[in-house]
Amino acid sequence: MANSLAFYGIVVHCREDTEIEILEACLLVVAADGRIIHISSGVHRDDLPSLLGRLQLSQEPRLRILSKTEFLIPGFVDTHNHACQWGQRGLGGGLHILDWLNQVTFPNEAAFQDPEHAKRLYSACVAGFIKQGVTTCSYYGSLHGDATKVLADVCLAKGQRALVGKCNMDRHAPSYYKDKDDAESLQVTQSVIDYIRGIDATGILIKPVLTPRFAICCTDNLLAGLGKIATQNPDLPIQTHFNEARQEIDMTLSLFPQFANEADLYKFYGLLTNRTILAHCTLMTDEEIEKLRQADSGVAHCPIANTTVGGGFMAAPIHRFLKAGIKVGLGTDNGGGFSSSILDAIRQAIIVSNARQLMHGDPSLSVWQCFYLATLGGARVCSLDHKVGNFQVGKDFDGLVIRTETDDGVMTMVQEGDSVRTVLEKFLISGDDRNIAEVYIRGRQLKCLPLSSAST
């Protein structure tokens, strides 16, 4: 940014206690380095010049006055995403998880051995997520070190905040798509970590993440080696698949009969920590839930993939996780479902929770709880809530300007007398990327749609 930036209008986010907060006539000011330096509500428009003057900024900020059809929300956080599956989205529905991997996913991911292919696909993937308001994403790359470095380069060049990991898998995968052995897998992993730290030394935008695909694809030595790296690097997040489907759980425990469950397995290898992101967690015992709580690990809830691929309608116990104080965010899982949209993940999370209520008696999730999962909840899962997730002084400004009236949109029409809460709900349930007019990450504008006649 050449200078600071200020927004005036309606601002909506979640407080630290997870409750939604609506700030009207709000002034939010972003410094030139992308950090929020001021936020106050109930500000009269005529008082803006004097209030901005009292902030003693080195340059006059660019003031963005939100129209009556616009409001500001935090950027979406995608806690579980396979960037290398961008080109296979929607394929393999109805297949059980292991069949889906062998028939659809592994052949697709093997193509990322070609760095030029990786550059094309990853450029499209990251641009697509930014367009849909995903300002932070936890990415699984393929097992290829060079391609994973390309993914990190693309995220940094396009300005998206991301966790980027080389996928580890040295067994139970096709000969054409697996690491040679645990030593090679660990060596390439360290190379990727070093590379990412080299291009973004302070981790301002891009951080490496340890990424054992799941225990089925990892030998004991590989898991132990990754656990050693995790211990030696207490800043490194970790991501893996966990209790995704019955077929996956049964095979995992048959390969590791010394463990009673997957929680014990990952804990033994030093991979169940307060910076671990566990994708899916659909079939969970009370004991496993308690182990996750004790470890302070986070859950990446992927309701679209859980009801599309895997062999069954898998309704994760999200209400129980939240009640236990476990961190939960939303994930699109990209290739494992029918949509890469966090808005669709919000809607499917509500549907799945309704099914869970019918099957198990758990209370359904509200749209407001799912808004929390998509923003601050996801930031907490990714261990980034000190930087993003809501609007607080000192945090980076990752935000979306939502425009509720467009010429070509399908969002539920806004009517006279609608409250801000009603308009937000209409957007969350019926809006799409055409309503995401502007995207900002660290104060840098990455998307800007022209004003439509409907909003002027």
Instruction: Quote the pLDDT of residue 387.
Output: 98
Pairing of strands 167-168, 211-212: parallel
The DSSP element (H or E) to which 39 belongs, if any, is: strand 36-40
CB 380 within 8 A of CB 298: yes
56, exposed or middle or buried, with CB in 10 Å at 0-12, 13-18, 19+? exposed
With CA atoms as reference, report the closest residue to 370 among 390, 343, 399: 343
Lookup: tokens for 366: 């509200």
HSE-up of residue 62 (Cα within 13 Å, Cβ side): 9
Query: Over its length of 456 residues, how does the chain's per-residue pLDDT go in tens digits?
Result: 458 999 999 999 999 999 999 999 999 999 999 999 999 999 999 999 999 999 988 888 999 999 999 999 999 999 999 999 999 998 887 788 888 899 999 999 999 999 999 999 999 999 999 999 999 999 999 999 999 999 999 999 999 999 999 999 999 999 999 999 999 999 999 999 999 999 999 999 999 999 999 999 999 999 999 999 999 999 999 999 999 988 899 999 999 999 999 999 999 999 999 999 999 999 999 999 999 999 999 999 999 999 887 666 788 999 999 999 999 999 999 888 889 999 999 999 999 999 999 999 999 999 999 999 999 999 999 999 999 999 999 999 999 999 999 888 899 999 999 999 999 999 999 999 999 999 999 999 999 999 876 655
Question: 438 near 445, Cβ under 8 Å?
Answer: yes
Report the pLDDT value the prediction gives residue 1, as an integer from 0 to 100: 46
C-alpha Rg value of the chain to the nearest Å? 22
pTM: 0.97
Rounded Cα gap, residues 102 and 98, in angstroms: 6
Angle at CA of residue 156, ends 163 and 184, nearest 5°: 55
